[in-house]
Each structure stands twice: as C-alpha cells, then as structure tokens.
Structure 1
Amino acid sequence: MKSLNYYFLIFLLPLLAFTTIHKYYVSITEVQYVKEKQSVQIITRIFIDDLETLMRQRYEESIILGGENESDKVDYYLEKYLKSKIQIQINGKETVLKFIGKEYDNDIAICYIEIPKVSTISEFEISNNVLNDVFEEQQNVVRLEISGKKKSFILTGRNDKGLLKLD
C-alpha cells in the first residue's frame, strides 16, 4: 500500500505543481525630466513574447521580434502602438511622443521615447495602457523622476492614470 501511495504522489505532485503556475504580465516605464536638455526621457521595458503576441494579434500574424528574421515593420508598428497607449499631459496640455528606437536585452524589449522642448513641469499626468488590450492581468509600473521628486504607480486597465503635482 505504501508503494502505491508513493507512486501516486510521484505522478500527482508534478501535475499539481504545473496547475498553479501563473504568468505575470508587467511592463516597467521610467520617466525622467532632464532639465538641461529640456527633455522628458522615457524608457519602457516590455517582455518580448508579450509584445510579439500583441503584434501578431493586432498587425501581422507572422511577425517575429528580434534576431535576423525580424520584420522591417516592427519599429513602425511599435511606434504606432506605444503612441496610442501612452498618453502624457504636461501642465495640463497633451504632448507628442517621439519614438527614438528600441533594443533587446535577453527577453526584454527596451523602447526609448522622448518629449522634447519641455522648459518647466508643474504637473505631470501619464496614462499607460500598454498590453491591457491583450492581457487582462497586465500591470504597468511607472516610475517618475521629475525635478527631484520621485513617484511610482502601478497602472492597470481599470486604473490607468497617474498624476504628479510639483507645486
């Protein structure tokens, strides 16, 4: 009987272990105001597999990110998508995001965005809906560093805005 229980546990435990695995959907966006350059610099880190899933659902089913088989259209699609999902208001006014480019680090896509010609910031509002349209559980961590003040937000599909007032 003991050996039967032993074999039962050997087969049952791995099955139970794999049923509790849960994938986390998260991106990290860092926003820094560089006063000397009058520029808001934004770096967004997104898992490549999640981004690839998005691009295949939204743009092209056969698209591949990274490597020598990467489509020439990836930067175009990425810029279009990020500009539609990240909105920033500075001092109550909408801004225009300038997509600088991207690079890959292991399984992460690092995207660079800038808002040039920003002389002062008294109020900074960000809305980040990156991947919320694909993954319901998506969380977007936003870290702000503006004029010596730091603030972090965890933004979701239901709570997608963060505000930092500097006055």
Structure 2
Amino acid sequence: MIASFRTLALLGFLACVLGMAFALYLEHFRGFEPCPMCIFQRVAMIGAGLVFLAAALHGPRGFGRWVYALLAATVSGIGAGIAARHVWLQSLPEDQVPACGPTLDYLMDMMPLTEVVRLVLEGDGNCAVIDAQWLGISLPGWTLIAFIGLALWALIAPVLARRPGW
C-alpha cells in the first residue's frame, strides 16, 4: 500500500527528529562537542525537518506537493554540501589542515553573521578531527548520507503519494 503525502512527509520529519536526537545524544551523553560545521549541519537538519513537518500539516495537493518537495530537497542539499565540505576537511593530510579557530559563540559575538558563515564554511582544525567512526565512515560522512537520503525522499514523496488529490 502506498501512503498519503502527509504520511510520507511525516516520515521525513521523523527521520530529521531521529537525526537530531542522535546528535544531541552524542553531545550530552557521549561527550562529543560539536564543531561549528556540525552546528551548521544541525541547523540544516532542523530546517529540513520543519519543511517536512509543514508539508505533513498542510497536506498540499498537486503542484503544492512539489513546492514542499523542492524546499525540503534544497535544504537537505545545503546540509549535504556542508557535510561534504566537512568530510573533505577530515580527509586532508595533517599538514594541510587549517589551524584551529575560535568557538562559534566567540565568532558570533565579534563578527557580522555573513563573515561568521564564511569562516565556518571554510572550516578549521576543529572540524578536521575525526571523533568517531562506524563502518569506517566518520560522523559527518553519515550525516552526508542522511542528507542525500532526505533529499531523495523529498523528491520521491510526491511520486509515491497515493493519488494526486489525496
């Protein structure tokens, strides 16, 4: 049985909630301190979750489904881009890793937002540290996989939805 668009959007939202719950578990119960790029990935995960939630609550028909799908896919794509940059930083040889920088809180206090975003996306030595791996893939690698899955789910949901009018 193929589900309704609302149900499919709700599943996308729940995937984002699980992703955020896991990130918070790692931070608060396992002691992994998120680097600035990790925080930006969390913002993208929350953004994708909010788009999926809005789609589930609204339950659009026809073209409206594609609007939500493209919004969720775009936010997930932005998250995937940040995660890919993070994975790239982690793959650099040790002598090419950028120097460690100040914390995100300090940057936000001292600089305009656009400059903070630019600096964080450049990355620093904190972002190149691999704290944990599973199956040989680092946490940002798994986040990249999750964002790709969310983007694909967003684009598949309007197609899988039972009938155009439901």
Could you state the TM-score of these two structures normalised by the residue count of structure 2? 0.29
- Greater relative CO (CA pairs within 8 A, separation 6+): 2
Could you state the TM-score of these two structures normalised by the residue count of structure 1? 0.29
Q: Would you tell me which structure has more helix in proportion to its own residues?
A: 2
Q: Would you tell me which structure has more strand in proportion to its own residues?
A: 1
Decide which structure has the larger Cα Rg and report it.
Answer: 1
